[in-house]
């Protein structure tokens, strides 16, 4: 079987990747884990299973190739593993804990951890971040049980471990988890100066009008470049409600205007969305007026949330920003939204 450095070099030779010293520097860590996981497992009741290898916590700026390297690593594995966005995984854990409590179990975390440990030898997480107090209070016990069961954890993050749940409520209760993480995972800073995700958009048109077949084709090309066909539906929990994102991968989301503005969503939903993504592909923005005033108000709130979070916007619309909303109550207020839409089209704008 080819090693991670071999696979990386082959993709460079095939012009699929650009050689990046920072990316190459982390490949030995992935290869270490892969080699240890593929060692033959001892047979028989009295044979001691070797200690699992330390996992990997790879952190760095957005767009540096962390998720790409993770995908490459997981594709080389021939052991039970799971690749999942960290937020989605924690939602599953919360659901499992709730079900265990419904059955009257006092320690609801233990059976959930045992189920996960029975299914995989490696968990590969994308974008580990802790912003919710319920996650913070659970994650320590959960991961302690997983590591005790021999599960190896590999994760990407935009934050150094010491900044996880930074300024969070009762953070002192969370600090032992950070120590535990450092004991069980090698912490590696991916220091590449290049933002590859931004480079995929750089110089490209990001606002398409009219929203016709040509716009859809050009957006699809950008979408494939950003997600490589790996997008899947994703769900965010907002104040105990579920906000579904039709397609999501590696911080890039895609939805229609109707999906985000035609339904009864509010500021909390848009803030949660903006906090979870780096790029939004929003399709089929219609002309706005008194006829669809509620949808227009939601659109304004959505753009405000995206703007403040510096989310990059790729969209198709019935008209240019200045002519989206030309009659009816709210036209004056929409001028700010139009201005923001223009600013968000600038090359290099956003936190992608």
pLDDT tier at 40 (50, 70, 90 boundaries)?
low
Residue 203, pLDDT > 90, answer no
Q: Which residues contact 234 (CB under 8 A, 6 or more apart)?
A: 85, 87, 88, 244, 245, 247, 248, 253
**pLDDT of res. 18:** 84
Residue pLDDT, tens place only, 333-351: 788 899 999 999 887 776 5
**CA dihedral of residues 271, 158, 125, 53 (deg, nearest 10):** -160
Return the beta strands (E) in the chain as ranges: 55-59, 81-85, 122-126, 152-157, 185-189, 207-208, 232-238, 241-249, 252-256, 279-285, 312-317
The candidate with the shortest Cα–Cα distance to 130, out of 117, 147, 146, 142, is 142
Statement: residue 180 has pLDDT above 80: yes
Q: What percent of the chain has pLDDT over 70?
A: 92
- Percent of the chain's residues with pLDDT above 90: 55
């Amino acid at each position: 079987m080819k090693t991670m450095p071999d696979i990386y070099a082959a993709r460079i030779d095939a012009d699929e990747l650009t050689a990046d010293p920072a990316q190459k520097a982390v490949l030995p860590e992935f290869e270490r884990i892969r080699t240890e996981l593929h060692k033959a497992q001892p047979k028989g009741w009295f044979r001691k299973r070797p200690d699992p290898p330390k996992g990997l916590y790879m952190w760095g700026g957005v767009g540096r190739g962390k998720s790409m390297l993770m995908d490459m690593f997981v594709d080389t594995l021939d052991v039970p593993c799971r690749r999942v966005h960290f937020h989605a995984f924690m939602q599953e854990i919360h659901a499992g804990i709730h079900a265990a409590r419904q059955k009257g179990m006092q320690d609801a975390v233990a059976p959930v951890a045992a189920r996960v440990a029975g299914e995989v030898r490696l968990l590969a997480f994308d974008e580990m971040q802790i912003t919710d107090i319920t996650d913070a209070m659970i994650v320590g016990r959960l991961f302690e049980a997983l590591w005790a069961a021999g599960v190896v954890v590999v994760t990407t993050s935009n934050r150094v471990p010491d900044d996880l749940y930074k300024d969070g409520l009762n953070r002192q209760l969370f600090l032992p988890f950070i120590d535990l993480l450092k004991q069980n995972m090698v912490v590696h800073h991916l220091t590449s100066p290049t933002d590859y995700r931004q480079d995929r958009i750089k110089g490209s048109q990001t606002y398409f009008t009219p929203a016709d077949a040509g716009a859809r084709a050009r957006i699809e090309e950008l979408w494939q470049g950003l997600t490589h066909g790996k997008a899947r539906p994703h769900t965010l929990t907002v104040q105990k409600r579920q906000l579904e994102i039709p397609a999501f991968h590696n911080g890039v989301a895609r939805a229609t205007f109707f999906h985000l503005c035609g339904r009864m969503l509010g500021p909390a939903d848009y803030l949660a969305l903006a906090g979870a993504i780096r790029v939004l592909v929003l399709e089929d923005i219609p002309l706005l007026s008194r006829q669809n005033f509620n949808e227009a108000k939601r659109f304004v709130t959505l753009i405000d949330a995206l703007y403040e979070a510096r989310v990059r916007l790729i969209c198709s619309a019935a008209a240019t920003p200045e002519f989206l909303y030309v009659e009816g109550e709210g036209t004056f207020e929409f001028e700010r939204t139009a201005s923001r839409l223009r600013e968000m089209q600038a090359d290099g704008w956003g936190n992608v």
